[in-house]
Structure formats: C-alpha cells, structure tokens
Structure 1
Amino acid sequence: MESKDKLMYIYGVNPVLESFKISDALKEIYISKNRISKLKEILRLAEEKSISVKIVEETFIEKITQGVHQGVVAKIKPKKTITLDEALKISFKKNEPAFFLILDLVEDPQNFGSICRIADAAGVHAIIYQKKRSVGIVPSVWKASAGAVWHVNLVEINNIKYAIKTLKEHNITIYGAEAQAKDVFWESDFTQPLGLIVGSEGKGIRQTVIALCDKVIKIPMRGTINSLNVSVASALITFEVLRQRKIQ
C-alpha cells in the first residue's frame, strides 16, 4: 500500500517539474546517474531554487517507486486538501456557477490522476472524494495526473453522501453519470450550479448515492462495450459543461 504520510515521494518528470511551482513543496530530489543528461531542466531548477539533489543508482529509485519513474524521484510536503465549506466559496469568488466533480469510491490511481488532470484543464472548482475506499493522493496518482494534483482543489471527506446533501442545501444540482440512465448528458442543463458524480471502475455509483441525485445521465453508446473508463466519461461530460457555459 502506498504512503499517505506527511512527507512522501513522487516520481516522474512532469510531477517533479510541477512541484517547483509550489512554494516550499520540494524537500529533496533523487536522480538516476544513468539519466542525468535527460534531466538537465530539473537539475537547473534545483540549483536555481537551492533544492538538494542526490545522484543515485537506478535500483535505489526502483525500490521506492511503483511505476514508470523516468529516473527521478522527489521528496515533497504533500498538497493540502480544503474543506467543503472552503470549496463552496470558490465559485462565488470567481463569479461562476459552481462546478464540482464527486468521485464515488474511485480506487484506481490511473483514473484518479487522469480525473485530476481533466479537472485542472476544465476549471472544475473542486474534486470531492471519500477518504475510505478511495485511492486518495498517493504517488501513482501524482504520476498519472502529470503533476495536475498541485493545481486542483481537493476535498477529502468522511462521507460522500453528507457532501452531496450539503451541496444540495446550497442549491447545487446533482447529476449522476450511469451507463443505464435514460437521459443523454448533452440534453441536460449544465449552466446551473452543479455537482457531477462518477462511480468506481467496477460497480459504478452506489445505489444509495444514485438515490440522492437530482438527475441521472448517460453517454450514449453504439459499440459492443456499454461503458467507458471513468476518466474518459468524466472528460466528455466535463467539457460539455464548458461548451454550454461558453468558457474559452
């Protein structure tokens, strides 16, 4: 199981490069001696910002990573999550209708990281996820997000149903994305304040969570396989929200 401790390792070129943009995030960098020539930009930034760099054997890096590391690992102070109350204030500050992505027990780090990248690109105000039975912000999520984790607002909550009820109390419409729904997603009104729920890779959105939705929507399929990867589905609907709101 990957670490969620106060200091953690992230790996891969893009996540490490993005960490230079965050004040006081980077504590130490490890670079494989076999890949120094390919990591000159990281070395330059580390020297510029006085970040300690250790040149190590690649076997050292392999011992502390669980994915494609590209020869670089950084020890960082993890990103802070925000509260649900703080998330609710974001849209007011930006003078935009609220837009939240709600992840119902997404456990795959590749999907979680990809959703973070989508949320950053689409200007989602916050990603809300449940602490238990979700992957959370582990090193492989940083890698999958290409460093986008740094730039999205994350709300880690004990009970996702509580979060949904709170959003509804603030007049935020809750949509659930389900393959078996009747309504096609592009026929829905996404110009209003909304929260979009996407479910886990195997089971989708739990029925007890579906029961809290104001509307359940689907992505129409013509192929043999009747569902899309959760991050792909999130991207399609998220950018339809942008289209309807005419954000460029």
Structure 2
Amino acid sequence: MIEEGYVEGRNPVIEAIRGGREIDKILIAKGSEQGSINKIIGMAKDKKIVIQYVEKAKLDSMSETKAHQGVIALVTPYSYVEVDDIIKAAEDKNEDPFIIILDEIEDPHNLGAIIRTAECGGAHGVIIPKRRAVGLTPVVIKSSAGAVEHMNIAKVSNIASTIEELKKRGIWIYGADMEGKHDYFQKDLTGPIAIVIGSEGKGIGRLIKEKCDFLVKIPMKGKVSSLNASVAASVMMYEVLRQRSIRE
C-alpha cells in the first residue's frame, strides 16, 4: 500500500468514486460549485460520502500536484494486487494475458501516463518494482486521469524473478530497447505477452534484458535518439492492441 491518502483533481476524483474507492470525505473549494464539481457533489451524495467546503488556500497547502482543480478526496490507501490477480483478470475475460512491466520508472508523470494508456489499450495489469521507482503518489494518480482506479497494479520485490515466473506460465517477454534486432512491428505480439519498458535515463537494466525473450526497437529517424518512456510504452501497447484486433 501507499502512504498517500488523497486523490486530487476533478477527473481522478470522479473515477475514484466511480471505481468504488473508499473515500472518507471530499474537500471542495468554496465558490467552485460549477461544471464537473457539481457532478462530483451529486455522485458523492448518491454514495453518501461526506462533503466539506474549505478555503482554496487549504487545498493549495495540501496539494502535491499543484493542480487540484478545487477538489481533493481523502481516501484509504491504494491496495496493490498480486501478479496472480493480473493473470486471473485476463482469464476472467477469456483473453491472453497482456501485462506491462516497468523497470525503475522514476517520473510520476510518466508512470501516470503509462497507466492511463495501459487501461485504454486493454492491458490486464502493470507491474512495478518496490525499490528505485515511483509508487502511486497523488501526482501519478492525477497524471493517470483516474485510470489507477480501473487498473490492476502489482508491486514486486524483484522484477527479474517475476519475469521468470511469468515465462514459466507461458507468457512471452518483449523488452523495448534500442539494442533490439527487430523493429517492434516486425514481431508477432499476439498471444500471452508482457512488454518491458525501461527507466527514463538508463533504459532496461542489463539483467532484465537478459531475461527478455526478445528485444525490439522503435525506429528513430530524427536527431534525438530516444523517446520519452511513456510515449515508447504507448507505441508498444497500441501495436499489441492493433495486432490482437486483426486476429479477432
């Protein structure tokens, strides 16, 4: 679990309510009762969630994102799932597992964006390491636009051993890396699959690379030699979705 006990911003709060998250109370800035704030008030009343109107300065002092949009929900800590839960989520949908593995992503905006794309792209879960990586902070939750409320996220002690376990269960591991021999769209990305995305500065660690079944690259035609981690993840995830859609 994470220590952060609140969700900031209108869309993240709406998704927290919609997703059934336990919410102790919702703090709303006085004078902001319009637009989507009224939607939040209505949803909160339906769920019998306590609403408290406070000065905007109070929300400003609490906010980590500095973009609370006039609302902060005080919530129970996020519960991470087990890797088995991600596999079961795929089985329950009668689908081949589609998993995103993140190797030491440290930027909360990147993690939030990746989780958002994973939810939109049909991934069954995201796996992150316990150490040397960002967890589900308020900035991550805000950056995901509330997608964390609908995505299975597992936090593991050892990414390398987790990959080994996934391989034993018949899941193919593809690492997105510039050392890959093939462009990502040249490989068959259907079937049970996990995509590994490396950290913003170092990419995928050496040991993790060795555990991957395949390394695939995203071709670069410009003068900049790499993509932002969340953009690279998006490119890979939507190629999986494209190939799966063709096979259906």
TM-score normalised per structure 2: 0.94
Counterparts of residues 70-109 of structure 1 (less than 5 Å):
70-109=69-108
Q: CA deviation at 1:243?
A: 1.0
User: Which stretches in structure 2 are left out of the alignment for 5+ residues?
Assistant: none
Write out per-residue CA displacement over residues 184-225 of structure 1, whole angstroms, 9 at most, x where no aligned residue.
000011112111000111111111110111110111011111
Q: CA deviation at 1:87?
A: 2.0
1:51 is aligned, of 49, 52, 56, to 49
Counterparts of residues 151-166 of structure 1 (less than 5 Å):
151-166=150-165
Write the distance in 2 (CA, Å) between the matches of 1:36 and 1:189. 50
Q: CA deviation at 1:23?
A: 2.8
Write out per-residue CA displacement over residues 97-130 of structure 1, whole angstroms, 9 at most, x where no aligned residue.
2111000011111010111111111111110111
Aligned with 1:200: secondary structure?
coil
Q: Work out the percentage of aligned pairs sharing the same amino acid.
A: 39
Answer yes or no: is 1:143 the counterpart of 2:158: no
Structure-2 change in CA distance of 1:239 and 1:20 (3 Å): same
Q: CA deviation at 1:168?
A: 0.7
Structure-2 change in CA distance of 1:140 and 1:215 (3 Å): same
The match for 2:11 is 14
Letter in 2 for 1:21: R
Across the aligned residues of Structure 1 and Structure 2, the Cα RMSD in angstroms comes to: 1.6
Write the distance in 2 (CA, Å) between the matches of 1:22 and 1:91. 19
Aligned with 2:52: secondary structure?
strand
User: Which stretches in structure 1 are left out of the alignment for 5+ residues?
Assistant: none
Aligned with 1:59: secondary structure?
helix
Write the distance in 2 (CA, Å) between the matches of 1:78 and 1:220. 40
Write the distance in 2 (CA, Å) between the matches of 1:152 and 1:111. 16
1:26 is aligned, of 19, 23, 26, to 23
Q: CA deviation at 1:169?
A: 0.8
The match for 1:63 is 61
TM-score normalised per structure 1: 0.94
Q: CA deviation at 1:59?
A: 1.2
Between stretches 37-46 and 226-235, larger displacement belongs to 37-46
The match for 1:219 is 218
Aligned with 1:53: secondary structure?
strand
Letter in 2 for 1:196: I
The match for 2:187 is 188
Write the distance in 1 (CA, Å) between the matches of 2:148 and 2:20. 15
